[in-house]
Structure 1
């Protein structure tokens, strides 16, 4: 990632369910030169930011914290985002419930939110509590199938000045009925494209299905739209790198967030990846409805990496 300019404090807020790898990620960031502090109460973070040091910081946020609440963390994220002295990113480490249960069983640890009960109850309670934070995260890393070594490599890829490949670009699909995702730098409306919802054989499918993406792409306006959007985003990204931004988010919305916005997000992500940009994808409504598994992912680059 490109480092912020010399006058900006870079802050990475690291959170996620217990057992998903927060400590591993914090240690990896510390090895990359970040000042790392784990389990810091939310109320102390603004005072910490008021210090004079411009060294990048990685702050671990634990749901067990005495003053923790999802609303408090999202409010802190918004507060820091509006602070001209700070470049803030919220990193969420996600993991499937059955994998977390296995990890707790293998280590015979008690879950912090259910010390007297089976770990499964605490896992379910914590994941439900953290759902708003997961939706508001700037970057999500799914750790279910990652070893600690793999997770360190992912963190180095996204945040390492030497091993990184330039700015991180996040593309989000969403439903306008549920509002815009937090922290978007650009938003594009896909509701003018032909709507697969009105086709009975496509209604229950998603933009990840070939039949839906083919239907959307047959709209004569689709190809020019993808080309113009890709050109515009690719034009803005280098300037954003020069400005010192480490993360750039683009949203694509449609009525239900299931068909058109998903298909367009996939097309633009593939086009940007071919140009060498590191792209992550979030399909908010598909995640919420459970219509597709592992929809949040990183797209492999197909060209030279951008710095």
Structure 2
């Protein structure tokens, strides 16, 4: 049996239908040492229970997913979204404290899509920047890094108006790097001709908060959200991206985050095993 690389983190989305207890159990049993959690399974059991479960597992905590969705117009819904992000910051801090040594307090942010009827991308990104600015004091007080995640442009209308790493770094630039960084997710950024330059920039600016990997393969399903694959099963060049992240100074854990109905429907232990194998073959040689 091949050993699991110690830098692999199992993002809980990859085994979406596992509850928190099961997700922790199968991750530990596979020899994976770290996990990234999602808010919904944590909130299903309550934060106090979740932190105890995480501590008992002995796993490192790598990220909390997710905060964001900042593009709502002014009014009660936007205020409620900001308040929910403050709760997410508190959750992130508590989980990072509960995880094993080496845990990181990183809250991944998805900016939100264009509001209904809107077409002003630049203006909408400014709204995202304004919202993050409101959360920076909370993040600094909690010791949490808000990691802006650019998403592939096909998600602009419904999920994320931040499409490139450069745009994410431009939004982050006005804020303390302890509070605002970026997420590099191979699925979302591999296509960008400037991605290697921007990864280097993220390193120089001290904003490389987390590195997530999965693969891209066509044809895409009808629901393009569910189009991710195991590392090595598609067309992404993990060599150049991973070397760039390492050269930029990133030494943290690396999450595999997959949204795919067939993978979600598979047996959880087999998914974790297959994830570890793909990570070993496609990513580890470049670390």
Structure 1 length as normaliser, TM-score? 0.30
The answer to which structure has the higher helix fraction is 2
Structure 2 length as normaliser, TM-score? 0.32
